[in-house]
Structure 1
Amino acid sequence: MTWTAPKVAHTLLDAENRRQDLEPFTDEWAELDLEVAYQIQDETLARRVMRGEQIVGVKLGLTSRAKQQRMGVDSPLTAWLTDAMVLGSGVPVPLNSLIHPRVEPEIVFQLGKPLAGPGVTAMSALAAVEAVYAGIEVIDSRYKDFRFRLADVVADNASSGRIVAGSVALPPQRLDLALEACVLHINGEVAHTATGAAVQGHPAEALALAANTLAVRGITLEAGWCVYTGGLTDAVPLTAGDQIVAEFGHLGSVTVTGE
């Protein structure tokens, strides 16, 4: 098959809707690069908006050094978040609408001002932040066994699934985000621990990187948007009956259950 950006965008959204996983496109389309992958990502966003979804923010992926090394890259990637991905507090994760969900805890920024690169630093990025939240992202790759190359996952909107934010909102000035601790519990047992430093050394560095990276494509982070800064720990599978809790030092806790 000869692949094109619109055809890949259609195939990915169809796979998501049908809960049917795929082989990576780069198996057949070896020339698929990041520039085209982001075009595919933007095309899928346009199609989401056409069917009624609204942009609520962006997310970063591959923000930890370990994940970057596994993928053979030296910089995170960005992807889109829409209101259809948002789960309210206490709402179970609808496993019947996902393929093979995994959960990772994140630090979340809500912007009070627009943020546009280039030249954004961690300090200037934090100046645009209105509040910081604890968060959980439920990722769900459209590729079989989470097997993909970098261009594949970018095209797939960085394995977007669902997002959940906690109820505690704090101004960034009240937090040492690099030292903000997180303990991930699975069914009452400690599975992982981390601090905010796991994300680019400081979550504000991830926010600045998002602003500067998106500026290359002419995109500004808008006031009111949320930014999920990337997994603090490895992602863990979510199955029916599971309860996964991300407990933070100052930002409270976030819980997801599989149903």
Structure 2
Amino acid sequence: MTAVTSSPVGAPTYETLLRCALAGELGPDPAGLRVAVAFTTRQAVRHDGRGTGYRNEVLGLRVGAAVGSCAVEPGALDDGVVEDCAGAGVDRLLRHPRTPVRVAALDAYLMHVAPHTPEHGARPVRVPAGTSLEKSRARARTVVGLLDLPPGATVLVVGVVNSLLEALRARHLAYVACDFKDGVTEWGEGVVTDALAEAHRCDALLVSGMTLGNGTFEPLRRHALEHGKRLVTFAQTGSAVLPRFVGHGVSAVCAEPYPFFWLDGGPSTLHVYRGGAR
């Protein structure tokens, strides 16, 4: 992750948050905590009735009862990285040369320090049991509901999820779909690859937590802060990291820690954060 050197006064950055965690300023000294379990979760999806599919791979690190996550491009992490993380001190992993490891370690540490509970600012939202598509749509309705935009507004969607686009369409919101994978949406719309280049023509930003892992979160957060735009994140990656930016360029977060909705057909829980900074 590239450090941001110019940020509005008083607004934390990802790098400052990481430094505070390393210094023990957010909770216990990370040198005294170890990752008991490191693993990857791999998924291929093709919902009934949908013409396109996709793949996911997520690095998971467990610290106590908490699991921190960071999505990666499929095949980006070899087994040696996962084995290196198991049993390692959290402080070492917060300094790891691989960005996804640092993100997952920070996520696990922060969730260990401040779990997703009302005491820490989270509002639970239940996702009913159902098929993978039904649960995806239920999550999408919760996420899009956090935008608080009038019909006709345009949303930059960073990290294309067709259920989110479908929910935006249902609310008569226009969107610009952005993803490093480019291609087209389920409705044949072109997908752009440079989010920041498109942000100026959008009224709000809907951003995946994956932006933490690929280094694009900070420029988008700065854009929202400087232009007074709503920025809502849907976070499987960094579900405990992104709530720390609510009130500092992030308007709301739909946090979804491991295990994610797509891993089980039973009911699951999302955790919504909005309002002032934590």
* TM band (smaller chain): under 0.3
Structure with higher RCO (Cα < 8 A, 6+ apart): 1
TM-score under structure 2 length normalisation: 0.26
TM-score under structure 1 length normalisation: 0.28
